[in-house]
Amino acid sequence: MTFAELAAFAGRHEMLSLALAGVTVALVANEIAGRFSGIRRIGPAQLTGMINRENALVIDLRPAGEFEKGHIAGAKNVQPNQFDPEHKQLAPAKALPVVLVCRMGQSATAAAKRLRKAGFTHVSVLEGGIQAWQGAELPLVKGR
């Protein structure tokens, strides 16, 4: 496709072209905001290394029923409405790497921002959430 054909297509489909431009701007803005948030996004392999080498604290924010059906070994289940970065039990974890996990990575990002504001310095989010973990064919533990 030549540039002239692309320009002609854009001229014939103005709304579609504007929608594409809007989505592109939103994606770029989201990526830039993520880079400057101070929150690391990690993959399943990186999380495995952090658990094994750095004693990372894994906090799973999914509902208890989902958590019990399968979660990362050693993960602690905390409901988002009970998630309090100022809680006295979390205070000792400020020096540890903390990795937040949810279903797809969205809820964990919001919780990670709260942890950063509370003074946690090593905060990460499992990119793609538990679905990415399963996609990498890594094991899950059932029960509490």
The answer to whether residues 94 and 53 belong to one domain is yes
Q: What's the chain's average pLDDT?
A: 86
- pLDDT for the residue 20: 84
Closest CA to 83 of 106, 60, 54, 51: 60
**Burial of 16 (C-beta count, 10 Å sphere; 0-12/13-18/19+):** exposed
Q: What is the average per-residue pLDDT within 71-91?
A: 82
Check pLDDT > 90 for residue 61: yes
pLDDT band at 16 (very low <50, low <70, confident <90, very high): confident
- pLDDT for the residue 34: 58
- pLDDT for the residue 37: 60
The answer to whether residues 20 and 47 belong to one domain is no
The answer to whether residues 51 and 9 belong to one domain is no
The answer to whether residues 19 and 59 belong to one domain is no
The answer to whether residues 23 and 52 belong to one domain is no
Answer whether residue 144 is part of any domain: no
The answer to whether residues 27 and 46 belong to one domain is no
Its domain, for residue 7, covers 3-34
Number of structural domains found in the chain: 2
Answer whether residue 57 is part of any domain: yes
Q: What is the pTM of this model?
A: 0.74
